[in-house]
């Protein structure tokens, strides 16, 4: 084989790998339990864990065994099913079963306060509980089928997001992403990384710069894991480096995910996203959000209303269980920040790319 043939062969292999690895399900309902990838041990180990109780699912979401707004939405739906199975075995009357299950669904929605997909999915399960005329066993089955439907819908939605997003990726582009909005943040394929995957399938010359994403290093641990497994050329940088590379003309666009989007387009995402957006605006680099419509919370007018989760101080003071700072230093650890809509070039959804004025384009997307 000559050099060109070897190059083309390698590219084809990369595309095949991307297609294979993007089919891995992050979370899946199996028989009477939830099966999910344990993301706390990546990239050192790839393993699935079995979640068999409602409290077990609450804890899995809280401790980020499962993470990413779309994935924890599905996890919340699974959690309601698990609680329903437990309550169904207690010999309760139908009315008491419904009462207690509604309370458990509300509790599940509190496991993490920022990602709206979690509240949305639990609310969808509550609608089934409230509206069902069935007996207890049938309600459990209806909840289970709805959870499975949400799983399948998530993958289909992400592929639409990827295809719409690929349309705005320049040929040979270098894309910067922050945190992990890939297959492991969803049921599969990903939102921001779904855009990367779809673009790469059309143009294997694109590459990615991934912020490490302190303090939990989702970019370093998870995004690089996903993309290198897919054979997509990826460069890891620290969070403070993006302006340097933007100034040197080495970044063409930014695509990130979202945990909650307000009605005016203000977007909550992993802490550090706002900083990237400011740098992109200064350097005239388009900054895109990739997220399903379920991440848009039209009940809140602006990002000022988004509750920001405050996480453990040890996430900042320790890495792999080892302290990295003076032991008595004060720590503040917000898990998210809010990027103002003025910095966002477009919101890539399953119904197309929304553009400013976001109040108008978001309302129109929900009306379709």
Q: Could you tell me the CA-to-CA distances from 335 to 3, 217, 332, 345 in Å, in that order?
A: 47, 12, 10, 24
Q: What is the pLDDT of residues 204-226, one digit of tens each?
A: 999 999 999 999 999 999 999 99
Residues 73 and 206 in one domain: no
Tell me the C-alpha distance between 32 and 198, whole Å: 34
Tell me the C-alpha distance between 187 and 23, whole Å: 9
What is the total count of domains within the chain?
Answer: 2
Last residue of a domain, which of 116, 133, 157?
157
User: pTM of the predicted model, to two decimals?
Assistant: 0.88
Residues 143 and 211 in one domain: no
Q: What is the pLDDT of residue 114?
A: 87
Tell me the C-alpha distance between 21 and 201, whole Å: 13
Residues 281 and 359 in one domain: yes
Q: What is the pLDDT of residue 115?
A: 82
Q: What is the pLDDT of residue 22?
A: 54
Q: What is the pLDDT of residues 61-72, one digit of tens each?
A: 999 999 999 999
Q: What is the pLDDT of residue 20?
A: 47
Last residue of a domain, which of 157, 188, 216?
157
Q: What is the CATH number of the domain that holds 340?
A: 3.40.50.10470
Beta bridge partners of 338: 268
Last residue of a domain, which of 136, 157, 178?
157
Place of tokens 């939102």: 191
Residues 207 and 114 in one domain: no
Tell me the C-alpha distance between 124 and 128, whole Å: 7
Half-sphere exposure of 319 (CA within 13 A, CB side): 10
Q: Which residue segment(s) compose the domain that 199 sits in? A: 161-367
Q: What is the CATH number of the domain that holds 27?
A: 1.20.120.420
Residues 28 and 122 in one domain: yes
Q: What is the pLDDT of residue 320?
A: 86
Residues 51 and 121 in one domain: yes
Asked about 259 being catalytic, the answer comes back as: yes
Q: What is the pLDDT of residues 83-128, one digit of tens each?
A: 999 999 999 999 999 999 999 999 999 999 888 999 999 999 999 9
Q: What is the pLDDT of residue 177?
A: 98
Half-sphere exposure of 362 (CA within 13 A, CB side): 26
Residues 352 and 231 in one domain: yes
Low-confidence ranges of the chain (pLDDT < 50): 1-9, 20
Residues 206 and 136 in one domain: no
Residues 85 and 165 in one domain: no
Q: What is the pLDDT of residue 234?
A: 97
Q: Which of 163, 259, 266, 337 is catalytic?
A: 259
Q: What is the pLDDT of residues 320-337, one digit of tens each?
A: 899 999 999 999 999 999
């Amino acid at each position: 084989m000559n050099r060109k043939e070897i190059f083309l062969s390698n590219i084809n292999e990369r595309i095949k790998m991307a297609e294979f690895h993007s089919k891995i399900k992050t979370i899946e309902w199996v028989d009477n339990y939830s099966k999910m990838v344990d993301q706390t041990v990546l990239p050192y180990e790839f393993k699935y864990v079995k979640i068999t109780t409602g409290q077990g699912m609450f804890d899995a979401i809280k401790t980020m065994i499962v993470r990413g707004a779309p994935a924890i939405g599905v996890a919340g739906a699974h959690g309601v099913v698990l609680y329903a199975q437990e309550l169904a075995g207690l010999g309760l009357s139908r009315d008491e079963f419904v009462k207690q299950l509604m309370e458990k669904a509300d509790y599940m929605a509190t496991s993490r306060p920022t990602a709206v997909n979690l509240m949305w999915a639990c609310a969808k399960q509550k609608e089934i509980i409230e509206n069902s005329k069935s007996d207890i066993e049938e309600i459990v089955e209806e909840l289970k089928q709805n959870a499975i439907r949400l799983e399948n819908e998530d993958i289909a939605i992400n592929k639409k997001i990827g295809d719409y997003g690929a349309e705005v990726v320049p040929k040979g582009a270098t894309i910067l992403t922050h945190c992990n909005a890939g297959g492991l943040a969803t049921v599969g394929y990903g939102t921001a990384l779904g855009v990367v995957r779809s673009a790469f399938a059309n143009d294997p010359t694109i590459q990615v710069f991934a912020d490490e994403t302190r303090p939990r290093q989702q970019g370093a641990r998870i995004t690089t894991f996903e993309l290198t497994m897919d054979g997509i050329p990826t460069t890891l940088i620290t969070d403070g480096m993006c302006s340097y590379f933007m100034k040197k003309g080495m970044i063409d666009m930014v695509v990130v995910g979202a945990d909650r989007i307000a009605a005016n387009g203000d977007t909550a995402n992993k802490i550090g996203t706002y900083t990237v957006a400011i740098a992109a605006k200064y350097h005239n680099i388009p900054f895109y959000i990739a997220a399903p419509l379920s991440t848009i919370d039209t009940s809140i007018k602006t990002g000022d209303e988004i509750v920001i989760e405050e996480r453990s101080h040890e996430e900042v003071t320790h890495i792999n269980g080892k302290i990295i700072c003076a032991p008595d230093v004060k720590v503040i650890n917000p898990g998210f920040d809010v990027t103002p809509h003025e910095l966002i070039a477009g919101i890539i959804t399953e119904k197309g790319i929304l553009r400013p004025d976001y109040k108008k384009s978001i309302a129109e997307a929900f009306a379709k």
